[in-house]
A and B are shown apart, each in its own frame.
Chain A
Amino acid sequence: MNVHEYRAKELLKSFHISVPFGVCIEENTPSAIAAVLKAFKDRPKVAVKAQIHAGGRGKGHFKENGTSGVRLVETEYAAEVVADMFGKTLVTNQTGSDGKVVHKVYVTETVAVAREFYLSLLIDRDRQCPVLMASDSGGCDVETVAKESPEKVLTFPVDPLSGLQPFQARRVAYLLQLSGEAFKECVDLVLNLYRAFVASDACLIEINPLVLTKEGHLSALDCKMQLDDNARFRHDNFASFDDPNEVDPTEAEAKSVGIHNYVALDGDIACLANGAGLGMATLDLLDALGGKAANFLDIGDTASAEQIEAGFRILLKHPKTRGVFVNIFGGTLPCDRVAQGLISAAETVVLRVPCVMRLMGNRKNEGFTLLQRSGLSVFATEDLTQAVETIVRETKAAL
Chain B
Amino acid sequence: MSIWIEQTSRVIVQGITGHAGMMHSASCLAYGTKIVGGVTPGKGGEVVHGNVPVFNTVAEACAAVYPDVSFIAVPAPHATDAILEAIDAEIPLVVCLTEGIPVHDMLRIRRCLVGSKTRLIGPNGPGLIAPGKCKVGIIPNEICKEGSIGIVSRSGTLLFEAIYQLTSLGYGQSTCIGIGGDPVVGTSFTDVLRAFNDDPQTEVIVLIGEIGGNAEEVAADFIRQHVHKPVVGYIAGRRTPEGKRMGHAGAMIAGNTGTALSKINALQTAGVEIAQNVTDVGSIVAKVLG
Does B110 sit within 8 A of A, measured CB to CB? yes
Interface of A is mostly: mixed
**Min CB gap B76→A, angstroms:** 7
Contacts A126-B214, A277-B210, A329-B164 given; does A287 touch B238 at CB 8 Å: yes
Count B interface residues, CB 8 Å.
59
**Chain B residues within an 8 Å CB radius of A143:** 255
Interface of B is mostly: loop
Most-contacted residue by chain B among A125, A263, A286, A293 (CB, 10 A): A125
A-B contact pairs, 8 of them (CB 8 A): A159-B111, A263-B246, A275-B155, A277-B153, A280-B246, A284-B238, A288-B276, A384-B279
Spot the interface stretch: B136-144, B224-232, B266-274. B136-144
Does A301 sit within 8 A of B, measured CB to CB? yes
Q: Is the CB of B161 within 8 A of A281?
A: yes
Interface residues of A (CB under 8 A from B): 123, 125-126, 128-130, 143, 159-161, 198, 201, 203, 228, 230-231, 233-234, 261, 263, 265, 273-281, 283-288, 293, 296, 298, 300-302, 329-332, 360-362, 384-385
Does B53 sit within 8 A of A, measured CB to CB? no
Interface residues of B (CB under 8 A from A): 20, 23-24, 76-77, 99-104, 107-108, 110-112, 126, 138-140, 143, 153-158, 160-161, 164, 181, 183-184, 208, 210-214, 234, 236-241, 244-251, 255, 276-279
Partner of A230, one of B102, B143, B240, B251: B102
**Min CB gap B195→A, angstroms:** 20
**Chain B residues within an 8 Å CB radius of A360:** 160-161, 164
**Min CB gap B186→A, angstroms:** 10
Q: Is the CB of B108 within 8 A of A280?
A: no
**Chain A residues within an 8 Å CB radius of B277:** 281, 284-285, 288, 385
The docked-state distance in angstroms from the alpha carbon of A230 to that of B214 is 22
**Chain B residues within an 8 Å CB radius of A161:** 108, 111-112
The A-B contact count (CB < 8 A) is 158
Partner of A201, one of B104, B154, B238, B279: B104
Q: Is the CB of B103 within 8 A of A123?
A: yes
Q: Is the CB of B240 within 8 A of A301?
A: no
**Chain A residues within an 8 Å CB radius of B183:** 123, 125
**Chain B residues within an 8 Å CB radius of A296:** 246-247
Partner of A362, one of B140, B181, B278: B140
Partner of B156, one of A123, A231, A233, A277: A277
Partner of A276, one of B126, B208, B239, B246: B246
The 10 tightest CB contacts between A and B, nearest first, are A277-B155, A276-B247, A275-B157, A278-B157, A261-B247, A231-B102, A276-B248, A281-B278, A160-B107, A277-B158
Q: Is the CB of B161 within 8 A of A331?
A: no
Partner of B158, one of A129, A201, A278: A278
Q: Is the CB of B251 within 8 A of A276?
A: yes
The docked-state distance in angstroms from the alpha carbon of A230 to that of B155 is 18
The docked-state distance in angstroms from the alpha carbon of A160 to that of B103 is 11
Q: Is the CB of A298 within 8 A of B247?
A: yes
**Chain B residues within an 8 Å CB radius of A330:** 140
Q: Is the CB of B239 within 8 A of A284?
A: yes
The docked-state distance in angstroms from the alpha carbon of A346 to that of B238 is 32
The docked-state distance in angstroms from the alpha carbon of A330 to that of B126 is 12
Contacts A276-B155, A284-B278 given; does A361 touch B160 at CB 8 Å: yes
Q: Is the CB of A285 within 8 A of B279?
A: yes
**Min CB gap A234→B, angstroms:** 7
**Chain B residues within an 8 Å CB radius of A361:** 140, 143, 160, 164
Contacts A275-B157, A361-B143 given; does A230 touch B239 at CB 8 Å: no
**Chain B residues within an 8 Å CB radius of A281:** 155, 158, 161, 234, 236, 277-278
Q: Is the CB of B138 within 8 A of A277?
A: no
Q: Is the CB of A123 within 8 A of B143?
A: no
Smallest Cβ-Cβ distance to B99: which chain A residue: A300
Question: Other than the known A161-B111, A281-B236, A329-B157, what 17 A-B pairs have Cβ atoms closer than 8 Å?
Answer: A160-B108, A160-B111, A201-B103, A231-B104, A265-B241, A275-B157, A276-B246, A277-B157, A277-B208, A277-B251, A283-B240, A287-B239, A288-B277, A301-B156, A329-B164, A332-B23, A332-B24
Q: Is the CB of A203 within 8 A of B239?
A: no
Q: Is the CB of B107 within 8 A of A280?
A: no
**Chain A residues within an 8 Å CB radius of B247:** 261, 263, 275-276, 279-280, 296, 298
Smallest Cβ-Cβ distance to A382: which chain B residue: B164
The docked-state distance in angstroms from the alpha carbon of A231 to that of B156 is 23
Smallest Cβ-Cβ distance to A273: which chain B residue: B157
**Chain B residues within an 8 Å CB radius of A160:** 104, 107-108, 110-111
**Chain A residues within an 8 Å CB radius of B102:** 201, 228, 230-231, 234
**Min CB gap A357→B, angstroms:** 15
Q: Is the CB of B100 within 8 A of A128?
A: no
The docked-state distance in angstroms from the alpha carbon of A120 to that of B111 is 22
Contacts A277-B156, A332-B23, A384-B278 given; does A230 touch B246 at CB 8 Å: no
**Min CB gap B18→A, angstroms:** 12
Q: Is the CB of B126 within 8 A of A331?
A: yes
Most-contacted residue by chain B among A130, A284, A302, A330 (CB, 10 A): A284
Smallest Cβ-Cβ distance to B156: which chain A residue: A275
Smallest Cβ-Cβ distance to A383: which chain B residue: B279
Smallest Cβ-Cβ distance to A130: which chain B residue: B107
**Chain B residues within an 8 Å CB radius of A285:** 277-279
The docked-state distance in angstroms from the alpha carbon of A274 to that of B140 is 14
Q: Is the CB of A263 within 8 A of B279?
A: no
Partner of A123, one of B107, B155, B279: B107
Contacts A285-B279, A288-B277, A296-B246 given; does A329 touch B238 at CB 8 Å: no
Partner of A125, one of B184, B238, B240: B184
**Chain B residues within an 8 Å CB radius of A274:** 157
**Chain A residues within an 8 Å CB radius of B210:** 276-277, 280
